[in-house]
């Protein structure tokens, strides 16, 4: 006896915060049938809306809009002629209005780090406060860090409960340079609006590249306060000078540096001296 299980569109979830619709089916969708002619999204008056992308994901289909849809506004969605992996065609078409609406009204503001701030550590102290609270329910704060302002390359994601209207947490970012961060409130399967995106910079000095033994030995001696110290022995030679009424003006200094015992000269005639550490001695 042969059996046939009819497949269908199970649910369509409007996701306003991510500018998309999530179409959930009970079958593996043939990606070749995910076309604008088969999945069409219109404005509330059914005029054509072409600013979206169709992205297959096994049994799900993401309809991603280029612009944020208007909150609490209806759009019209039409789905037809989809096929599954066995070539069967969807019999029952989907024709219905979709309402984009935020169920979580809680809004957040990133207090720290400040926009354009330079942080000298990869451990980032995050402080977020609630600017609008819709109702007293258990709500989680989702924080996303990215290397780009469209949050394509997510570096880290943190989820923390909102307590007394704020979130305070330290998180580590294993990357230097410009970082983008945003936050939103979430509850169960519902989400709120993203906060304003904050951009800051991480700049640290890689201490592993410095000879720490040398630093410890040097800083614990009286040499730091010795005006006669000369860690790199140099001498000035072949000076080119111009005599003026105000004295002698030197155009160039050629310094001869004492090289280590084992050194190599590259093909361009340069010698790698390694890390050079300088100290400012104006201590007050």
Instruction: Work out the average pLDDT over 14-37.
Output: 87
pLDDT for 91 equals: 79
Q: What's the predicted TM-score (pTM) here?
A: 0.43
248 — phi, psi (to 5°)?
Answer: -110, 130
Lowest mean pLDDT, pick from 61-65, 84-88, 186-190, 238-242: 238-242
Looking at residue 203, its pLDDT comes to: 86
Q: Give dist(CA 193, CA 103) in Å, integer.
A: 10
Residue 43: per-residue pLDDT? 83
Residue 190 CA: distances (Å) to CA of 60, 164, 261 = 18, 20, 67
pLDDT confidence bin for 264, thresholds 50/70/90: confident
DSSP result, 48-87: B---EEEEEETTEEEEEESSPPPTTEEEEEEE---BBTT-
As a whole number of angstroms, the distance between CA 260 and CA 275 comes to 13
Q: How far apart are the first and last CA of the chain?
A: 94
> Domains of the chain, with CATH numbers?
9-100 (2.60.40.1220), 107-202 (2.60.40.2550), 206-284 (no CATH)
φ, ψ for residue 78, nearest 5 deg: -130, 125
How far apart, in Å, are the Cα atoms of 138 and each of 108, 129, 134, 243? 15, 15, 11, 80
Give the pLDDT score at 283: 43
What pLDDT, in 10s, does the model give residues 84-115? Answer: 888 888 878 888 888 887 667 788 999 999 98
pLDDT of amino acid 2? 41
Whether the per-residue pLDDT at 214 is higher than 60: the answer is: no
Q: What average pLDDT does the chain have?
A: 76
- What residues contact residue 69 under an 8 Å CB cut-off, 6+ apart? 14, 16, 19, 75, 100
């Amino acid at each position: 006896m042969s059996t046939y299980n009819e497949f269908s569109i199970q649910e369509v979830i409007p996701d306003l915060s991510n500018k998309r619709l999530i179409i959930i089916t009970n079958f593996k969708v043939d990606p070749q049938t995910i076309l604008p002619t088969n999945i069409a999204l219109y404005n509330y008056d059914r005029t054509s809306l072409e600013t979206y992308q169709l992205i297959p994901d096994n049994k799900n289909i993401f309809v991603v809009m280029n612009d944020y849809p208007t909150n609490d506004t209806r759009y019209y969605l039409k789905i037809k002629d989809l096929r599954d992996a066995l070539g069967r065609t969807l019999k029952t078409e989907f024709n219905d209005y979709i309402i984009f609406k935020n169920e979580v009204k809680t809004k957040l503001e990133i207090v720290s780090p400040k926009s354009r701030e330079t942080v000298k550590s990869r451990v980032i102290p995050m402080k977020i406060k609630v600017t609008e609270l819709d109702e007293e329910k258990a709500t989680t704060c989702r924080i996303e860090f990215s290397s780009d302002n469209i949050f394509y390359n997510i570096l880290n994601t943190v989820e923390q409960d909102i307590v007394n209207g704020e979130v305070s947490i330290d998180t580590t970012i294993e990357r230097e340079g410009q970082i983008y961060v945003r936050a939103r409130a979430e509850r169960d399967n519902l989400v709120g609006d993203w906060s304003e995106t904050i951009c800051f910079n991480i700049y640290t000095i890689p201490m592993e590249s410095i000879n720490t033994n040398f630093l410890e030995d040097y800083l614990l001696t009286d040499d730091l306060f010795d005006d006669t110290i000369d860690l790199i022995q140099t001498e000035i030679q072949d000076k080119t000078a111009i005599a003026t009424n105000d004295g002698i003006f030197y155009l160039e200094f050629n310094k001869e540096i004492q090289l280590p015992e084992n050194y190599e000269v590259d093909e361009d005639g340069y010698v790698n001296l390694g890390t050079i550490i300088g100290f400012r001695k104006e201590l007050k």
